[in-house]
Structure 1
Amino acid sequence: MAPSGPRAQRNTRNPSAPTKPGGRSGGIKKRGAGGPVRTDRDGDLDMDAPAAKGGAGRGNRPPNTNGTSAPPTGPRRSTRSAPAGGRAPKPTTRAADMVKKIVESGGSGNLSSRIAAGRDTSSRHTRSRPVNGVDRVTLVVRGLKESKASSNDGGGLRDLLIFLERKAATVGKLHRTVKINKSTMKGDLVYITANKEDAEEIKKINGFEFASARLSIEELPEGTSPGLSEQSQSLKDQLTTVLGQRYNQESKLMNLSDLGQDPILQQMGMFNQATPEKVFRALMVILEDNFKTAQAKREGIHSVSLAGNNIDDVHQIMSLADALPDLLNLDLSRNMFKDAKALRKWSHRLRKLEALYLSDNPVGTDASAMAEITKLFPRLQNLSGVQVRTKEEVEAASRAPRVFPIPQFGTDFRDLNRVGEGFVTEFFALYDTDRQTLAAKYYDEQSTFSFSVMTSSAHIPNAPPLTWSSYIRLSRNHVRITHPPSRYQRLFVGGPLVQDAWSKLPLTRHPSLTVEFDKYLIDCHPMSGLADPTGSELGGVEGMIITMHGEFEDQDPETKVTSKRSFSRTFVIGPGFPGRNPIRVVSDLLQLRAYSPLPPQTGVPEGIQTSAAPVANAPINPVATQEQMAIELSKQTGMTLDYSKMCLDAAQYNLERALATFNEMRAQLPAEAFAQPIA
């Protein structure tokens, strides 16, 4: 599908079939002779289609040149021409490399180029944005290659940076450090990025001697990019002109429709020289350079039109979502989208999109596709001129608690001799009344405990705000606590440290497991390979892992205010040391968050009770459990259900042991063992 400039009018899909009157042609034709189409590794974005410029304000369809919002009518034709033989000219290496340099220097290329260009790569979806975009200054340093340091590791770049920071602070007689934020070496030049204040100090070192070589330091001219050749800079200037002519500041529209018919791009021969996707990425890089901050992009561009570019998958224009994540209106009409699948890669992007236009696409008005596309964009209100949500519905959905429940099938309690049942029942009763006794009984010198507070989790709308001051100082939330020593201090190892941590937490009251069992979701599974306290079993010993989700009430020690919170707690328990309690807690991980009701339990297996009933009166049906294990083993191995049951029976219904047996005996199993795998 890669365009190669304007072509003579022809049927590009099926040369042997006549064009349908008033519509498109069908099929896809390989360049030249017939056969399947070939696409390059980057994906081809066909941008050659009839021109139709337009503009749009917030929430409105970008209008056509005649001032109306109706899509163009008539057959869709290609205007591309090809030399004799039907094969488009190959891209020239030099032009393709120039586009690549623009992309990489701007930050939408690989990770190293984004770092070198002084861009922050920590945001979601690897979205690049300038660091200190307003105060950032890039300097060009010459002389490193002529210095004696050039023979050092890394070409002497590290030595040069240390020299520049130290010398700038000394020459300026500063009582602070000078910091170079980013640096990169390209050929004989070194590009460094610093804030304006530090850059002024570094420029004072111009002409100083470094490792027997004289340094030249000057500021990079505004509008130029580090490492671009004269030809690449000229190409960037031309692409900047293209964007400038297509930007409507009044309507805040970036009109990128029918790029294949743009006279400047045609004159440059861009689509004969580089893949359309790379050209589009270069345009997005230049756009980001002109809107330095995320706020500037939000305020400057509300709408984008990509109509008439023969796009068939958003993967080809993924850089649009990276460059303009807060876009409100998007016109994708007169393209080649066949179904909703072609837009799924944007399912977690463009979260603020309000209007999307897909008219004159093969997807047409397919109701199921339109419904799926609507779900991809939670704030979408207008889909191809049809209202799919009201503004009030969008606002109500945004206020609703964000609950993402894992599908539940009742509690899955694979207990061994009711050890897990007895542990959780005793644990929470003692945790609420006598934590010291609890820690002394189950926690030894190797037991670990930690907890984390999730202050931004889902909660009930309009619920009174919770205070976390009694918890936050000991919280080990790795998203918030990134300094390694702070993380180590919040991991409590050994019974005494666990007791000390618990003493600093507020008093709690958990619902009774024997009366309010429906307030919990509990999973319990056998677990092998735990460290043997005696050291005699090198392969480890058997234990259990127990995961609980529930709620509790606590009382602030200072204000005496009672609050309700939700929690998740995961225990790993195993055999205790000889002469001590027969059960020890190997690991205890607690997570706290604002109260949110548990998801409803559905499809509860036979014999499992989820109503308010004692745990002791909720036995697991052994036949049902064995059936579930057989199905699980069949899913993981591809064996028939009968062979899975035989394998589990030999392993005494230990799933881990059955999997190990299967891996050892797989080559010896007959073909009929895999004849009817469970889906």
Structure 2
Amino acid sequence: MNSSPSTPAPRSARHAFRNAVRGVLDQDEKMKDVAPTSSHTARRSAAPYSKRVANPDAMQVERPSGARTNGSLSSRIGSSRLSVTGRVARVGDPRVIAASSSRMPAHEMWREFVKSRYNPQARFLDLSRISEDAIVKKHRLIAPGQPGSTGKEAPTIFKLAGQLKPEPLTISLANNGLTSSMPLATLQHYLPGIRNLSLENNELKTWKDIDAFSSRKGRLLKLRELILIGNPLREVEYQHGRGERYTSEIARRFPSLEILDGNTIAKITFDAPSTSKAEAAAAAALPEARSFPVGVNPGVVPPEVQSLVGEFLTRFFNYFDTSRASLAPIYAPEATFSFSANTTIPQRARVMGLHATLPNQRKLDFAKWLQAGSRNLSRVGGRLEAAMEALHMGTAQIGEVLAAMPATRHDLGKPSDFVVDACTVMGAPAPGGVLLMISVHGQFTEVEVEGVRSFDRSFVLAPSTEGSPAQQAGWPVVILSDQLVVRHFSSPDAWTPGPLKVQFEPTNAPPPPTQIPQQLPVAQPVAVPVDAILASLPEHQRVLVMEVSARTGLVTQYAGQCLEGNGWDLGRALANFEQVKAQLPREAFAR
């Protein structure tokens, strides 16, 4: 009695995939049919070749007497049953050839598909929408990554692609429903020279889903352009205001990448054109500025409206924090309100480490602000309809948007945390012919996580009319326009009266004398310790390194490299940094 031992189920889909790929790589020189029509057929066709028989004449293949000898080859193979009664058929026996060639090997079917999708002039291999291809449907093939696939389909396709002449440089795998990059694990093995890859409109959701072709082992070392548009991984990052982090992480995984999703990524380099002797001499002759010519002054509010401005802001922010519905009467029927969530961390805040050192900053998330109707025009782009939708008009719309924003708390008991400017505009088309414009910069606490944010807010006010909802609610003014910017926290030192530093002073040199009124507090320069690298530099270069470090957040080593590569020109070094900052590793920045 002959028995066929059952094959144990793989422990996981990943285990099965790895076994499949290992089999393809180990047997590159001999491709086999990866999709037999049935387990019985597979055993039947493999039997003459899988074992050695000591006596070839001891077995004989006989055809049942009732088997038909005419009709199609497939019908004859399907209706016949080979029985072992004695002698194995010899190599070259027509019956063996008929049985083994009953169905085109799978790799030949895939070869037909690959050739039909290749444009040798453009060196472009279009592997998009594989499941919808006529050849794939004709041969009933299963596309890589689809239910029922064995894990050998993608390696087979890539191996065949590697045999094309000339070798492909661009591959599109768009619209294939890929949920992980496991099918791409052998792409680097068979096509190491790939320059451009599109994975547009697939289902890659997490960073782990792209590990198979972005890890050190499977990384595409010559990849120049990558498209991930339409994958949940990318879209979620942008929806949560993490576009810069997304770009930086992709650039870290693919150091050779130049273009991501159609946008240029600057290469990591601090090289700059050499400076001529004349330019260097002219630059050396210029005086070295250490502070901005105009210092920071306190907020300006005309005396005649100081009381009005103070009462308005105190009452407004109190209602904004505790009962936003109570603000409805103060907005005029034709009032407009818009707000923008600026998700970029300011450079000075990054240098000071505010995001990392304050206790609850890492808990903050811009998602709720973005979902509430942010009108960040840099995100909206040129879409007029989207820009107009985010401009909220009228009491009802404004009330809905205010209610959707996260809860806040403005600590008005600390005047130093805020700066206010105001001015009046006479002859305006408003009741009484006068408008009052107020600009406020300050900070608030986001109540849910107790994290701190900075904000900028501008109001345009007009006197309330007799009998209006605003006057009935006790407001002497109405809001015609309200604009709000919410951003990462930055220190209120920005508006502390005093000199505006543009360069750090050497720690061993006293600050230059500055004529400042005695009653105004003076912003003290930040003390920066001189490390070993700084100690080895001349004084003028040391100052430049500290300045670049302060503006960019780079550690001393990278700040020095940036300046050295740009001829110690501060302007060019800062411009070069802006070009390459997305590519720099995390250790380049001060923590």
TM-score (norm 1): 0.31
Structure whose alpha-carbon radius of gyration is higher: 2
Using the size of structure 2 for normalisation, the TM-score is 0.35
Higher helix share: 2
